[in-house]
Copies of this chain bind each other. A is one copy, B any other.
Amino acid sequence: MPTSGTLVGMPRSSSALDATDVDAVTDAVLTASRLLVAVSARSIAAAGDAITLPQFRLLVVLQTRGPLKHADLAEYLQVTPSTASRMVDRLVTVGMVDRQHSTVSRREIVLALTREGTKVVRQVTARRRKEIAKIVARMPDEARHGLVDVLTAFAEAGGEPPASAVAPEAVWT
């Protein structure tokens, strides 16, 4: 049942939102949020026991930002340097991340994805896009056509840059 009766059709009293609007919208957003979180979780779980969610976030940062030093990586992940350092330890031992002394400063260490790490990121991302595409394809035409505009407006109102321009903070889950 698309176009539920909540707020389509009848012209509203200008810009002010009444309580019903806010509640309905908030419910809708929370519901969609649950679904998206579930999709994210599944796409990582499908990578097997090879990786955890925080580790995947780390790999994504390295892929999107390129080689980084520990301090920057920690900043992007919003964790402390010690946490980042130990996560890198583990990912190095399983061969997904590479540690190299910087050529310009002997105190810096440059982290980069290995071929294997790149492969894992690609697999998980592909699966996620596929799952989302499958859901989108099941939507009624009208709703699907509006999805891009509405979600973009929502993200912009929330100050989130589009998926193509990668944000420093809030790397996706």
Contact = CB atoms under 8 A, between A and B. Distances in A.
A91 interface: no
A149 B31 contact: no
Given A4-B149, A8-B145, A26-B133, 13 more contacts: A7-B148, A17-B144, A21-B144, A22-B129, A30-B163, A30-B172, A31-B163, A32-B36, A32-B151, A34-B171, A35-B155, A38-B169, A147-B150
Question: For the complex, would chain A's binding face be called helix, strand, loop or mixed by DSSP majority?
Answer: helix
Contacts of A164: 27
Q: Which bracket fits the contact residues of A?
A: 35 or more
Interface string A105-140: 000000000000000000000001100110111111
Given A129-B26, A149-B3, A170 B32 contact: no
A2 interface: yes
B170 A4 contact: no
Contacts of A32: 32, 36, 151, 154-155, 160
Given A148-B7, A172-B37, A140 B153 contact: yes
